[in-house]
Each structure stands twice: as structure tokens, then as C-alpha cells.
Amino acid sequence: MTVPSLSVATAIERNREDGRGTLIGYLPVGFPDLGTSIDAAVALAENGVDALELGLPYSDPVMDGLAIQKATAAALEAGFRTRDVFTAVEAVRARVDVPVLVMTYWNPVLQYGVERFADDLKNAGGAGLITPDITPDSGADWIAASERTGLDRVFLAAPSSTDERLKMTVEASRGFTYAVSTMGITGARAQVDAAARTLVGRLREAGSGNVCVGIGISTADQVAEVNAYADGAIVGAALVTALAEGGVSGVAAKAADLASGTTAVRK
């Protein structure tokens, strides 16, 4: 039987008490195949990643950059099905004790059934969902399902959001609020947008206890930079590229390098 998942908020708090930052790592389920994607996710956890974000491949990934688009397209071509994400979560949770969130566009959840999706994720040991393309005011069904099951719900906040919308996002989120560091699609960038620091400050003012920053983070120095003012750094494209180019051992090495940034002195 799968061990109930550690919540992301608990993991963040433990790291905060230890004086270190938090690293959340993203990989798509089913790339390059289901078994390897599970092994790769486990490798992240075994090499310093504090929480996992497993992506559910989708045919229209409007927010994802080229590296993630290629990986998810390959997973779909290899026969990925929505139910595979629950298989992956359960398999990962049986091997490592870290929170496992699922990042998914909303249409696959609707097609699967919101209540059924929530139940199957909970039963697999998942911690909750990151939902990039729905907002709190359009997510009533998911908010109700997550209240019933106790799953985390992570909504995204952008630099362009009004103060009113940021407050709504903070109040609806559970686990952490996802601060989008730049406007546009995901992908590694040479410099994390300075707008991220301002956005985190605005989210703090709106009442958020945990804010994690994603989109564009690809180095240990950037992980340290983000963790100096936020509660966690989220890395996706850099890990997907490492897996594509170097397999499980390659992504394990990249995770260990990124994780070195979480031990930098907190400012």
C-alpha cells in the first residue's frame, strides 16, 4: 500500500527550519517511456529534489517550451494514457518519500472526470495538482474535489496580475502559490526575470505563506538566488533536457547540481 504523501508545505517548512531552500523538479510521465520516467523521477528525489512535479502529457501544451513539448509529444506517440500518471505516482511514492504533485492542463482532468481524477490521485499517494490553465474563479469543481480529498491545489500567479487577482489566487491555493518568473512559455533562460522578486513580494502582501518560483530556472546559482527571497525554485526544461541527452544518470547528475543551490545561506 502506498504511504500517504508528505505535503509540499511540510517539506518547505522542514527545509526552512533547516536553513535551506526548496527545489521542485518537473518531468513528464511517459518520457522516454513509462518505466524510465518513473526511474528518472526517483533519481531526482534521490539527488536532492525536495518535491516532484510530474507532468501529464497533453496534445496542446500552450505554456511549455520546446524541450517539454518534444518530450510530451514523444510520450503521447509512445501510447501514454491519463491513467498512466496514477501508475507513475504510486510507483514513485513506493520508492521515495517526497511529495508528488501532478502538473496538468485542465482538459484531461475534465475528460477523465474531476472527482474520479481526485480520488485516483489521492489513492496513488499524490499530493495535489498544479493547474496552469485554470484560475480560481473558473476552478470551482476542482476546489470542491480537493477540499473533499485534502489534495493541494497550486494556482499560478503572473507579474501582470492585479492585486485583487493575486489575493484570489493566494486564498484559493494550498501547498504553495506558483509565481511565474516571466511572461511567456517555459524554458531555461540565462537570467531569471527580476520581476519574480517583485511578484513574490506582492504575493506575500496578499497573504501567501509559501511562494515558489518557476519558469526559466536552470542553474544552481539561480536556485540559490530564488531561494534567497522565495520558498522554493521550480526547474523543468533543464531537467527534461538532461534526461533527453543523458538518460537517468544524466538527469540525476543535473538534479544533484541544482540541489547544491538549496544549501546557500538564506538572506
Active-site residue list: 53, 64
pLDDT > 90 in the chain, percent? 79
Neighbours of 165 (CB within 10 A): 16
| pLDDT tens for each residue of 142-174 | 999 999 999 999 999 999 999 999 999 999 999
Could you tell me the pLDDT band of residue 216, with boundaries at 50, 70 and 90? confident
Q: Which domains, ranges and CATH numbers included, belong to the chain? A: 8-262 (3.20.20.70)
Give the bridge partners for 27, in sequence order: 54
DSSP-assigned states of every residue in 218-258: -SHHHHHHHHTTSSEEEE-HHHHHHHHHHHHHHHHHHHHHH
What pLDDT score does 185 carry? 45
Which of residues 190 and 192 earns the better pLDDT score?
Answer: 192
* pTM of the full structure: 0.93
Could you tell me the pLDDT band of residue 265, with boundaries at 50, 70 and 90? very low
Could you tell me the pLDDT band of residue 195, with boundaries at 50, 70 and 90? confident
Average pLDDT of 55-75? 78
**pLDDT surpassing 70 at residue 267:** no
Q: Which of 28-32, 99-103, 194-198, 202-206 is the least confident region?
A: 194-198
And the C-alpha cell for 47? Answer: 539527488
Q: Which of 159-163, 193-197, 244-248 is the least confident region?
A: 193-197
Could you tell me the pLDDT band of residue 58, with boundaries at 50, 70 and 90? confident
Spatial separation of the C-alpha atoms in residues 76 and 59, rounded to whole Å = 8
